[in-house]
Structure 1
Amino acid sequence: IRVQKTQITLCNRHVFSCVSFLRVRPKALMPASFFTLTFGLEHPLESARIDAKVEAYRNRWTHHVVLSDAGQIDEELLSWLREAYDFAQQKR
């Protein structure tokens, strides 16, 4: 874990996720209290929970999820983080 000025970065050999206050929705649609969880996978996720996604590099998709309640940290989200961790481990 690296604590930086604008984010907290989660790493194994490479960065696999970060937590920040990045706004990925229009300000009017953001919750009053939130943080954004960002993680990378080799494929795009199709879920209403994904607020934004972009193919940053070929077969490397960056996903952003806005979280405003501890109850949103569930098995589905944790499985995405596990997958992101494994994906980062495979990078050269």
Structure 2
Amino acid sequence: MEKGLLEKTGKSLKQWVEVVKIAKIDKHKMIIDFLKKEHGFTHGYANFVALKARKSDAASIDDQDLLYAQYKNKEALKPIYEKLVDEIEKFGADVTKTPKKDSVSMIRKKQFALVKPATKTRIDLGLKLKGKPVDARLQASGPFGTMCTHRVLLSEISDVDDELIDWLREAYEAAV
């Protein structure tokens, strides 16, 4: 987005954030409307600049703060997350963990898993396992939609067992 913004407008993200600051607009929708009306932005670029100007996107928040917020009042789930990360890191040094506001993407060249503390008692683990049949444990993707092909519900650290690790490894190996 940042590169496209510069190519389409001739100004960098930093310059557009400064334009917003000078205009003294601080509400998200008002920034979007201003950029669209006064500078001919598309909605996507206006939203991007608004998020950056307000520092309200996940990329503007420290990874540790994102994780803390995800597991606030869900602290009992954190050991499950940590066990998943420990196992995934054994696959190779090419795994990138990308925390978002409500989940953490596990990426090789493509996302292969998504860890989301869904409730106070359950983590939903999304996996990309194209063509793999669903069953009672390896469910259809559900709320993940097209981001993942499957979902596994995790409530205890013992749910991170050999079968689950095999599925994670399979998803990792396919993410090239």
Residue of structure 1 in register with 2:25 after alignment:
none
| Residue 5 (str. 1) matches residue 101 (str. 2) | yes
Deviation at 1:21, TM superposition (A): 3.2
- The answer as to whether partners of 2:134 and 2:140 remain within 8 angstroms in 1 is no
- Structure 1 segments of 4 or more deviating over 3 A? 53-56
| Residue 34 (str. 1) matches residue 122 (str. 2) | yes
Provide the aligned length of Structure 1 versus Structure 2.
78
Q: Aligned partners of 1:40 and 1:86: how far apart in 2?
A: 10
Quote the RMSD (CA, aligned, Å): 2.3
Query: Kindly, what percent of the aligned residue pairs are identical?
Result: 30
- The answer as to whether partners of 2:140 and 2:150 remain within 8 angstroms in 1 is yes
Counterpart residue identity of residue 34, structure 1? R
Q: Aligned partners of 2:130 and 2:124: how far apart in 1?
A: 20
Q: How does 1:1-92 map to 2 (within 5 A)?
A: 1-22=97-118, 33-53=121-141, 56=146, 62-89=149-176
- The answer as to whether partners of 1:36 and 1:66 remain within 8 angstroms in 2 is yes
TM-score by length of 2: 0.40
Residue aligned with 1:41, SS = coil
Q: Aligned partners of 2:109 and 2:117: how far apart in 1?
A: 24
Counterpart residue identity of residue 133, structure 2? L
- The answer as to whether partners of 1:44 and 1:53 remain within 8 angstroms in 2 is no
Deviation at 1:71, TM superposition (A): 0.4
Residue aligned with 2:163, SS = helix
Q: Aligned partners of 1:5 and 1:40: how far apart in 2?
A: 21
Bigger relative CO (Cα 8 Å, ≥ 6 apart) = 1
Q: Aligned partners of 1:3 and 1:19: how far apart in 2?
A: 9
Counterpart residue identity of residue 41, structure 1? L
Larger proportion of helix = 2
Unaligned runs of 5+ in 1: 24-31
Larger proportion of strand = 1
- The answer as to whether partners of 2:128 and 2:171 remain within 8 angstroms in 1 is yes
